[in-house]
Structure 1
Amino acid sequence: MTHAVDADIPLDRDIFLRTLVRELATSLESVVGLAEASGYISLVGQTVGTHIDDMYTSALAVDRLSRQQVADVLVDLKQRIHGDFYIIEQDDQRIVLGTHSCPFAEKVIGRESMCMMTSNVFGTIAARNLGYAQVELVETIARGAAGCRVVVHLVPGTGAGRDPGREYFGDAPPVLGTLGTGLVVE
């Protein structure tokens, strides 16, 4: 074999982009620590969540999504990016989602800060449409679990899990800790 094009190399746009995000998270975590890296990635997640929410509300021709539509959107967006999320249960107080695969695939293992994309996208969409969300990452593939279990609390004060989660408020930017960006960095 004399030509690069003939080489059997597992590289495509998807693998390249997942690797890029992982290495950015790795660099951030090693330079500023997990909490600060999570905060920076949260900023990106918030912007992406706003953009995705705008796409769905426009496509569905509504000003705001209903609770059922929010649940459907959270599942649909993850399906579109190969996250394979599904609803475990839902009611007026919370939406519980699960998955056995991550859009970042194996690149997420050991990189908890990357989970802030899910937290912020879910939290931003739920809060923009329903006024409030608290996203609790109960189990994550990044932390070594076989799958993820994410609880989106829709009523303040109802989250009582091991991970208190992050809160998101309506159309106003979230409150920010040390990064000055509107997110509470734990």
Structure 2
Amino acid sequence: MPVPLPPWSEGEGAGVEQVSDVEIPLDRDVFLRTLVRELATSLESVIGLEEASGYVSLVGQAVGTQIDEMYLRALGVDRLTDEQVAEALVDLKRRINGDFYVIEHDEKKIVLGNRVCPFAEKVVGRESMCMMTSNVFGTIAARNLGYARVELQETIARGDAGCRVVVHLAPDVDVETVSGREYFGDPAVAP
């Protein structure tokens, strides 16, 4: 039985001699963002948003610990100050093509805005992917300052124009009545 000719053998694409010469929007970044999105999609469709967020949270905590260790080693310190934590959260997102910035910062909270998600368009409709931000931020803040509660008030994943993330640095509210996830570090450094 004869093998059918590929669709580009006639008409559009005819004359392309090498697959490597074809223009397609694929590189390592696009591949990895697509991979994470499809993992989140599979988890959300099989076990639901809440459970999928839990799985992504585990990954985010491990990644947050690794990133925190990088900053501690690079700065030659045992713990970051609250100012350094705020700077590190903005810096780490900048390094992965996010566009986070500090809106407000005091001893009780760090409020961050964001114009560009590191996952780009792949995050839209996949709220569980935001647990990477929550857990990385929460882990870094809690490891260094003793405590954090991260509220994702606005997210690009939910369809907002940007993100608004509040990292609470003190357990000053009834956590049963507010949103966000709590993170705990060394109680000896808690405020």
Q: Percent identity?
A: 74
Picking from 89, 92, 95, the partner of 1:80 is 95
Rg larger in 1 or in 2?
A: 2
Aligned to 2:75: 60
Picking from 150, 159, 181, the partner of 1:166 is 181
Task: State the TM-score, normalizing by the size of structure 2.
Answer: 0.87
Letter in structure 2 aligned against 1:167: E
Taking the aligned partners of 1:138 and 1:157, their CA distance within structure 2 comes to 18
Stretches (4+) displaced over 3 A = none
Deviations 1:68-114 (A, max 9, x none): 00000000000000011000010000000011110000000000000
Aligned to 1:9: 24
Kept after mapping to 2: 8 A contact 1:93/1:158: no
Taking the aligned partners of 1:101 and 1:13, their CA distance within structure 2 comes to 19
Taking the aligned partners of 1:159 and 1:75, their CA distance within structure 2 comes to 28
Aligned to 2:3: none
Aligned to 2:13: none
Taking the aligned partners of 2:21 and 2:73, their CA distance within structure 1 comes to 44
Task: State the TM-score, normalizing by the size of structure 1.
Answer: 0.89
How far the C-alpha of 1:3 sits from its partner, in A, is 1.2
Runs of at least 5 residues in structure 1 that lack an aligned partner in the other structure = 173-186
Picking from 122, 125, 137, the partner of 2:152 is 137
Picking from 137, 146, 165, the partner of 1:150 is 165
| 3-state SS in 2 of match to 1:107 | helix
* Aligned CA-pair RMSD: 1.5
| 3-state SS in 2 of match to 1:89 | strand
Aligned to 2:62: 47
Does 1:37 pair with 2:52? yes
| 3-state SS in 1 of match to 2:152 | strand
